[in-house]
A and B are shown apart, each in its own frame.
Chain A
Amino acid sequence: MPVDEEPVARPEKTPGFLQRRSTRRAVVMGTAGIAAAGATAAVIGLTAEGGAASPVSGDVERTALLSTTPAAPATPRPSSTAVVTDARLRAAHLLRRAGFGGSLAEIEEFAGLSREEAVSQLVDFDQVDNSALDARITAANFQLTYTASARGQLIADMQKWWLTRMAYTARPLEERLTLIWHSLLTSQISKIGGQRASWMVWQNELFRKHAAGRFDDLVQAVAKDPAMMMYLDSVESSKEHPNENFPRELMELYTMGEGNYSEDDVRESARAFTGWRLSRPPFLSREERAKLSDAERLERQMEIISTYRPDFVFDAREHDSGEKTFLGKTGMFNGEDIIAIIMEQAATGRYVCARLWSELAYADPEPELIERFEGVWKNSGHSIREVVRAILLSDEFYSERAYRGKVRSPVELLVGLVRGTEIDLSRDVAIAGGAARTGRSNFYSGMDQVLFEPPNVAGWAGGTGWLSSSTFFARANFLDEFLFPRGRGVVTFPALAGLPADAMVSAAADRLVDGDLAAASRTAISVLVDGIRNPDERAATAVYLVAASPEFQLI
């Protein structure tokens, strides 16, 4: 039996003793902060009697999206009212959550801004010049279209393409939101098929285009996205045989959450989405076919399929134009009408606000907190940008419960490492698709987050689910493969390489864990790297250990 039997009522009251400790911790944070590179950073670790409870688990993070109340973890949580006050810690936290982490210079810059300025710089990204990223992407020449000769590289290149965007974008929130939409409005490349891999790239561009716009526009667009239409079988839904797959997941996972609609609503809305089709790629002409051998013909047909970008087509003959009753409304609804009705539901605002909060701040948020953002949702006409702005401006976002209150995902592990230590990925380091590069097992997939291939239609559950005995080794070994690639030199860190061991460890800790590393851990790393002669190996070893440390597994 569980030992902690006292049920925790929600919203929770933080016990008084915890609040006092929280305050103490905030004071510690307020006076410590990130030391300048090279200096010995103050340790922000907690005293034995102080500190906070661990936050909630990943299963709660996922079930929090469901309307029913999941079993509440029977342990007190860190306070969501005690706020981290140190400007650099706040800046580092904001950059980690709204993006994937900042360099020392970015953290310094953001620490000098007011809360509103800092948030606006991230949220109002449309005006931010991203030409350096565009140039880098062009130069990298990623293969994003299927060809028979290089099919093994395609998916790895797609992942590298996106990870490179995350690592070097000047608009970190744009990429963060794109990742959030990929995990909410899911499609899996395995169902779309390798020859249509580009469809996933186009879907990714759609997420980026609508990343911070109106949620309504995002959902209307993704409903007609080719990858989505294939993934959830919209293309097969006909008047005779309405397919329930898309409308069910649309309501259950994408917008409202389970419990806010009936099985009848599923069946009725399925009728409304009938007749949604995609244009078909052209066939080879008879003359062309005659000139080709069977193998060439197959190759050519494959090439046509893989490069063809289908358009959404409405087939009136396959559409059920009759009257439908959906969520209490009756009319000759089509698919767009159904989405519009869903968007007006209170459950949708609540669900999307809770999801954005869980992604950006912490899982299982207090309902009254989400109510505040529901107000913003309504008043802004369902603007993602305005809800995110309100989240990032809230005190709770900077609370002790939020600071290091999430387990770092594999993507955050990699991109956070690259951004924090300013690694230049233009050299050929293995950032994805390890199997293709090394012929060994794919550590990247071993960490359980393969971009473009979420585990199922519910996306990545995340939270503490990122950590298991299996992923523990996968994460450490991914860092090994990344920093010490076989057959090539180690990844270099010019800013660290010349430093004495103690200073090197401090510099790595400043860049990756806000200078917060247990004193004994610093000593242990120093002792090890002190025994390594080669300065580049020393630096890579120090970075490996800080990146594999427990502190860096949190974000």
Chain B
Amino acid sequence: MLSRRDFVKGGVALVSIGTTANSLLKGAVAFAAQNPALAQASSGKILVLVQLAGGNDFTNTLVPYADPAYYAARPTLGTPAETLLKLDDSAALAPQLTGLKGLWDEGRVAFVRGVGYPNQNYSHFKSMAIWEAGDPELKLDHGWLGRTLDSMESEAHDPFFGFNAGGSTPPALRSEHVPVTAVANPNDFGFRERGQAVQPTAARSSTLMKLYEEYPANSPFGVLLETTAETAVSASTSLAAVHQAYVPAVEYPDSSFASGLKLIAETIAGGLGIRVGHVTLGGFDTHTNQQEDHPALLQTLDEGLTAFYRDLAAHGRADDVVVATWTEFSRRVEENANGSTDHGSAGGMIVLGNGVQRGIYGDQPSLTNLIDRGNLLYTVDFRSVYATLIEKWLGVPSSDLMGQQWPTLPIFRAA
């Protein structure tokens, strides 16, 4: 009988959900049958997802300033037209998004408006789960990025293939075969003995790793425990080498969001084999204090994304990377009693990178013809955007991953 290590070494191991030896065998079969041309064809393109957790108010991000209904619905929250950064005669960016405006002027940014799904759910957790699964029915297995990683998995597995700059594995990246690395703080990402950082070859640490190797694969959570330990140690070793050598080309702002992006830039510049990265910026649930909080959040977003792009450009990697933002929903059109906004529906996505075809995609949902007592009717299904990112950027067929073929959007330049 093959050992679990054989599977793991072959790059096939279940991590997100516990498994049996039986399904591992199937995994190995599937692995062998996989088309190796896929990984080749996609030639190292990298997708970085930025989660704006809490429900970003896209109406105040990309503002439909020419529509009087906007100011009518938001007497205190409406951003004065003269402060906005105009993109065309109907849409303008919030004043804080100066970096993105600069990148727009350089032709590197796309905005997708009216992104949502049928029967909008207004619960953070349910709607987040829908976006993470890429399925409003929640019937597709694992996360949409995890499924994508599974389909791109190649023989030489890199621990940073799927990577979250943060402490846990985001549900969107949960996969069947690909162990996803999560790093909250690179300085704590390794063993300590008596408080001192040590190599995994140190006596006690290597003994501990032996316990994980010896843990029977068919015991409860056997594969999860061993792959977690092995991924952690192998990722720690590669990151340590890169972390020493990496010098950012720009000064990143002082936010944990920017630190996360910097860490992703480090893994890209260091050649750690990252294909999908994920980082989260939270705090967008602006039921109160939106007038102060939302501009500050947009500024954090703008400064982080701009620094990230400029750093990658300086390292000669900007052609390989696309950033896309997502959020579980936007917010109600009309401001609430606190001059803020409650949970809403269709939002928008920002896509940034040298491969992007500049433009505003998707129709602006009507601000007056509303659904569910004051919410926007979506004009673009989020699965179309996902299919576009998967097919047109990562170069992987999307229909199996998304349950059906969704129409793609022309947001990337022709190769």
List residues of A whose CB falls within 8 A of some B CB: 1-4, 45-46, 48-57, 59-60, 62-63, 66, 68-71, 73-76, 78, 233, 236, 238, 240-241, 243-245, 248, 252-253, 258, 263, 404-405, 407, 438, 440-441, 443, 446, 448, 456, 458, 464-465, 467-474, 476-477, 480-481, 484, 486, 518, 520-521, 524-525, 527-528, 541, 544-545, 548-551, 553-554
B314 within 8 A of A: no
A521 and B22 CA atoms in complex are apart in Å by 25
Tell which of B124, B181, B224 touches A467, judged by Cβ atoms closer than 8 Å: B224
Interface contact A56-B194, CB-CB below 8 Å? no
- 17 pairs from A and B in contact (CB 8 Å cutoff): A3-B27, A45-B219, A51-B218, A57-B174, A63-B129, A245-B287, A258-B123, A438-B195, A441-B188, A468-B168, A468-B182, A471-B167, A474-B184, A476-B192, A476-B205, A484-B195, A524-B214
Interface contact A473-B191, CB-CB below 8 Å? yes
Interface contact B221-A3, CB-CB below 8 Å? no
Interface contact B400-A1, CB-CB below 8 Å? yes
B102 within 8 A of A: no
A472 and B167 CA atoms in complex are apart in Å by 10
B104 within 8 A of A: no
Q: In the assembled complex, which residues on chain B have CB atoms less than 8 Å from the CB atom of A76? A: 20, 22
Q: In the assembled complex, which residues on chain B have CB atoms less than 8 Å from the CB atom of A472? A: 228-229, 232
Tell which of A54, A404, A486 touches B194, judged by Cβ atoms closer than 8 Å: A486
Interface contact B193-A263, CB-CB below 8 Å? no
B395 within 8 A of A: no
B236 within 8 A of A: yes
B79 within 8 A of A: no
Q: In the assembled complex, which residues on chain A have CB atoms less than 8 Å from the CB atom of B29? A: 3
B413 within 8 A of A: no
Q: In the assembled complex, which residues on chain A have CB atoms less than 8 Å from the CB atom of B59? A: none
For residue A443, which residue of chain B has the nearest CB? B188
Q: In the assembled complex, which residues on chain B have CB atoms less than 8 Å from the CB atom of A74? A: 23, 141
A-B pair number, CB within 8 angstroms: 248
B231 within 8 A of A: yes
For residue A456, which residue of chain B has the nearest CB? B124
Interface contact A54-B19, CB-CB below 8 Å? yes
Q: In the assembled complex, which residues on chain A have CB atoms less than 8 Å from the CB atom of B133? A: 71
Q: Contacts A1-B401, A470-B183, A470-B184; is A52 near B220 (CB within 8 Å)?
A: yes
Interface contact A54-B222, CB-CB below 8 Å? yes
| Chain B positions 48 through 87: 1 when the CB is less than 8 Å from some CB of chain A, otherwise 0 | 0000000000000000000000000000000000000000
A408 and B30 CA atoms in complex are apart in Å by 32
A3 and B195 CA atoms in complex are apart in Å by 42
Closest chain-B Cβ to A403's Cβ sits at a distance in Å of 8
B140 within 8 A of A: yes
A525 and B205 CA atoms in complex are apart in Å by 11
| Chain B positions 106 through 147: 1 when the CB is less than 8 Å from some CB of chain A, otherwise 0 | 000000000000000111111001000100001111100001
Interface contact A54-B220, CB-CB below 8 Å? yes
Q: In the assembled complex, which residues on chain A have CB atoms less than 8 Å from the CB atom of B405? A: none
A1 and B147 CA atoms in complex are apart in Å by 6
For residue A60, which residue of chain B has the nearest CB? B17
Q: In the assembled complex, which residues on chain A have CB atoms less than 8 Å from the CB atom of B180? A: 468-469
For residue A18, which residue of chain B has the nearest CB? B20
B302 within 8 A of A: no
B361 within 8 A of A: no
Given contacts A258-B126, A474-B184, A527-B207, 6 further A-B contacts (CB under 8 A): A66-B129, A68-B138, A70-B138, A467-B225, A471-B167, A550-B219
Interface contact A75-B211, CB-CB below 8 Å? no
List residues of B whose CB falls within 8 A of some A CB: 1, 14, 16-20, 22-23, 26-27, 29-30, 121-126, 129, 133, 138-142, 147, 150-151, 159, 164, 166-169, 171, 174, 176, 179-185, 187-195, 203-205, 207-208, 210-212, 214-216, 218-226, 228-229, 231-232, 235-236, 287-288, 336-338, 342, 372-373, 400-401
Interface contact A54-B224, CB-CB below 8 Å? yes
Interface contact B190-A75, CB-CB below 8 Å? no
A78 and B181 CA atoms in complex are apart in Å by 28
Q: In the assembled complex, which residues on chain A have CB atoms less than 8 Å from the CB atom of B228? A: 467-469, 472
Closest chain-A Cβ to B293's Cβ sits at a distance in Å of 13
A345 and B167 CA atoms in complex are apart in Å by 38
Tell which of A57, A238, A548 touches B17, judged by Cβ atoms closer than 8 Å: A57
Q: In the assembled complex, which residues on chain A have CB atoms less than 8 Å from the CB atom of B122? A: 263
Interface contact B126-A57, CB-CB below 8 Å? no
Tell which of B30, B185, B194, B288 touches A3, judged by Cβ atoms closer than 8 Å: B30
Q: In the assembled complex, which residues on chain A have CB atoms less than 8 Å from the CB atom of B226? A: 550
A2 and B141 CA atoms in complex are apart in Å by 7
Closest chain-B Cβ to A28's Cβ sits at a distance in Å of 12
Closest chain-A Cβ to B22's Cβ sits at a distance in Å of 8
Interface contact B151-A51, CB-CB below 8 Å? no
Q: In the assembled complex, which residues on chain A have CB atoms less than 8 Å from the CB atom of B207? A: 524-525, 527-528, 545
Tell which of B1, B123, B151, B211 touches A252, judged by Cβ atoms closer than 8 Å: B123
Q: In the assembled complex, which residues on chain B have CB atoms less than 8 Å from the CB atom of A481? A: 192, 195
Tell which of B218, B235, B400 touches A469, judged by Cβ atoms closer than 8 Å: B235
Closest chain-B Cβ to A417's Cβ sits at a distance in Å of 15
Q: In the assembled complex, which residues on chain A have CB atoms less than 8 Å from the CB atom of B183? A: 469-470
Closest chain-B Cβ to A171's Cβ sits at a distance in Å of 29
Q: In the assembled complex, which residues on chain B have CB atoms less than 8 Å from the CB atom of A550? A: 211-212, 215, 219, 221-222, 225-226, 229
For residue B221, which residue of chain A has the nearest CB? A54
Q: In the assembled complex, which residues on chain B have CB atoms less than 8 Å from the CB atom of A443? A: 188
Interface contact B220-A75, CB-CB below 8 Å? no
Q: In the assembled complex, which residues on chain A have CB atoms less than 8 Å from the CB atom of B194? A: 480, 484, 486
A407 and B16 CA atoms in complex are apart in Å by 13
**Residue among B147, B194, B214, B231 facing the most chain A CB atoms (10 A cut-off):** B214
Closest chain-A Cβ to B352's Cβ sits at a distance in Å of 26
For residue A480, which residue of chain B has the nearest CB? B192
Tell which of B14, B30, B337 touches A241, judged by Cβ atoms closer than 8 Å: B337
Q: In the assembled complex, which residues on chain A have CB atoms less than 8 Å from the CB atom of B22? A: 76
A243 and B180 CA atoms in complex are apart in Å by 39
Tell which of B30, B187, B190, B203 touches A441, judged by Cβ atoms closer than 8 Å: B187
Interface contact B167-A263, CB-CB below 8 Å? no
Interface contact B192-A545, CB-CB below 8 Å? no
Interface contact A3-B126, CB-CB below 8 Å? no
Q: In the assembled complex, which residues on chain B have CB atoms less than 8 Å from the CB atom of A527? A: 207
A241 and B336 CA atoms in complex are apart in Å by 8
Closest chain-A Cβ to B15's Cβ sits at a distance in Å of 9
Closest chain-A Cβ to B72's Cβ sits at a distance in Å of 19
Q: In the assembled complex, which residues on chain B have CB atoms less than 8 Å from the CB atom of A548? A: 208, 211
Tell which of A63, A241, A263 touches B138, judged by Cβ atoms closer than 8 Å: A63
Tell which of B18, B125, B208, B231 touches A458, judged by Cβ atoms closer than 8 Å: B125
For residue A55, which residue of chain B has the nearest CB? B18
A253 and B1 CA atoms in complex are apart in Å by 46
Interface contact B18-A470, CB-CB below 8 Å? no
Interface contact B220-A244, CB-CB below 8 Å? no
Interface contact B288-A46, CB-CB below 8 Å? no
For residue B373, which residue of chain A has the nearest CB? A263
Interface contact A477-B188, CB-CB below 8 Å? yes
A42 and B337 CA atoms in complex are apart in Å by 66
**Residue among A448, A468, A551 facing the most chain B CB atoms (10 A cut-off):** A468
Interface contact B231-A469, CB-CB below 8 Å? yes
| 6 tightest Cβ-Cβ pairs between the two chains A and B | A54-B18, A241-B337, A51-B218, A469-B232, A550-B215, A468-B182
Q: In the assembled complex, which residues on chain B have CB atoms less than 8 Å from the CB atom of A471? A: 167-168, 182
A550 and B176 CA atoms in complex are apart in Å by 21
Interface contact A3-B125, CB-CB below 8 Å? no
Q: In the assembled complex, which residues on chain B have CB atoms less than 8 Å from the CB atom of A253? A: 125
Closest chain-A Cβ to B125's Cβ sits at a distance in Å of 5
Tell which of A3, A473, A480, A525 touches B26, judged by Cβ atoms closer than 8 Å: A3
Q: Contacts A241-B336, A520-B214, A541-B204; is A55 near B220 (CB within 8 Å)?
A: yes
Q: In the assembled complex, which residues on chain B have CB atoms less than 8 Å from the CB atom of A68? A: 126, 138
